[in-house]
Amino acid sequence: MLQIRTMRFDDIPYAVRLTDQENWGVTRRDLTRILKLDPKGSLVATESSRRVAVITTTRYGRKLAWIGNVIVDRNYRGAHIGRTLVQNAVKYLLKSNVKHVALYCFDENVKFYRRLGFVRDVPFVRLRRKPIPLRSASTAAPQALPLQKLLSADKKAFGADRSRLIRMVLRNEDAWYVGFSNGRSAKSYLLVKKYKELYELGPWVCISPPKAQPSEMLSLILAEITGKPIEVSCLRDHQAFGLFKKCGFRVMNHGYRMYYGRVPQIGKLEANFALGFLDKG
């Protein structure tokens, strides 16, 4: 009999093994961070006491929540376990008085989520750049944007407050950012996360930047990263897509941002140069 329970910290190794089957690159650190942010928000499905699937969620106050890492063991697919997990996660989030529930999904999963009440929003692409040879790293430019201003800019661009999440990433992981402020309203930052096999760019936020600044920021970051592939996700119709292609990034996959019920008008699409997937959506 299928049962759904709250994910525990001792479930994390199992969840990592599941995501490894899909080559998602999710780490114990990623999942530990998610559980610390909301100890009751992630779920495990069991069949006769055997774990068979997981789902994670991340809440950003009461305005927005994100679903990520929906995965069912390959030996148990086709029994609607994923559907049950998503329904339970949505129910939990709505009971927590979250106004909007969202997720990122690749094209092949759009029909699955539409049947569960999600509607398509903007399309995105996942890109990768092959590693370039190792060389002596230069000293990174100083961060001219204080963290508090970074968090303020991120909230304006993203549409909800994810300051706890960003602080945890910067405090506990191999992560850093480059940020700039040009006057009262113009603020930009680009965050980099280092994993065992690759680097990931994002979030990347630019609010009212000088025309050349996004290209300069990307070039600055790329000059610091050698020896490993780099992955990033961005909105398909955003100017950042062209910047990444000029720098040698190639499309890996396509997908959509989706919202439960309806698409709200939150955040600033033009300010989100890279998505980040901090919640591992």
Question: Span 219-231, mean pLDDT?
Answer: 91
Q: pLDDT grade, residue 281 (50/70/90)?
A: low
Each residue's pLDDT tens digit, 88-100: 999 999 999 999 9
d(C-alpha 265, C-alpha 79), whole Å: 35
Range of lowest pLDDT (19-23, 56-60, 205-209, 228-232): 19-23
pLDDT confidence of 276, banded at 50, 70, 90?
confident
Give the Cα separation of 58 and 70 in Å (integer): 13
Mean pLDDT of 13-29: 90
Asked if residues 281 and 66 have their Cβ atoms less than 8 Å apart, the reply is yes
DSSP structural state of residue 113 = H
DSSP conformation letters of 200-234:
EEEEEEEES--TTHHHHHHHHHHTT--SS-EEEEE
pLDDT greater than 70 at residue 141 = no
Distance, CA of 274 to CA of 21 (rounded, Å): 26
Instruction: Please give the average per-residue pLDDT across 176-201, as a whole number.
Output: 89
Rama region for 35: left / alpha / beta (φ>0; ψ in -120 to 50; rest) = alpha
Encode burial over 252-278: b for 16+ CB neighbours within 10 A, e otherwise.
Answer: eeebbbbbbeebeeebeeebbbbbbbb
Average pLDDT, integer, range 104-118: 96
Mean pLDDT of 223-243: 94
The answer to whether residue 184 scores a pLDDT higher than 90 is no
Any idea of the CA torsion for 236, 240, 245, 248, to the nearest 10 degrees? -130
Report pLDDT for 135.
57
Torsion 232-233-235-236 (CA) sign: positive
Residue 218, number of CB atoms within 10 A of its CB: 23
Res 80 pLDDT > 50: yes
Between the ranges 92-101, 208-217, 271-280, where is the mean pLDDT highest? 92-101
pTM: 0.91
The pLDDT of residue 142: 47
As a whole number, mean pLDDT of residues 134-156 equals 74
Average pLDDT over residues 141-166: 88
Dist. CA 251–CA 152, nearest whole Å: 31
Residue linked to tokens 């303020």:
152
To the nearest whole percent, how much of the chain has pLDDT over 90? Answer: 79
Tokens of 6: 């709250």
Q: Say which residues have a Cβ less than 8 Å from residue 182's Cβ, sequence separation at least 6.
A: 188, 208, 209, 210, 213
Q: Does residue 140 have a pLDDT over 80?
A: no
pLDDT of residue 143: 58
Please name which of 90, 64, 263 lies closest in space to residue 162, comparing C-alpha atoms: 64
CA proximity to 179, closest of 163, 170, 191: 191
Sign of the alpha-carbon torsion through 201, 206, 211, 216:
negative
Name all domains of the chain by residue range, CATH numbers in brackets: 2-98 (3.40.630.30), 127-274 (3.40.630.90)
Q: How far is Cα of residue 58 from the mean position of the Cα atoms in its chain?
A: 10
Q: Which residue has the tokens 């114990």?
A: 28
Amino acid at 122: V
Confidence of residue 139 (pLDDT cuts 50, 70, 90): very low
Average pLDDT, integer, range 110-138: 88
- pLDDT at residue 28 is higher than 80: yes
Query: What percentage of the chain has pLDDT greater than the value 70?
Result: 96
The whole-chain average pLDDT of the chain stands at 92
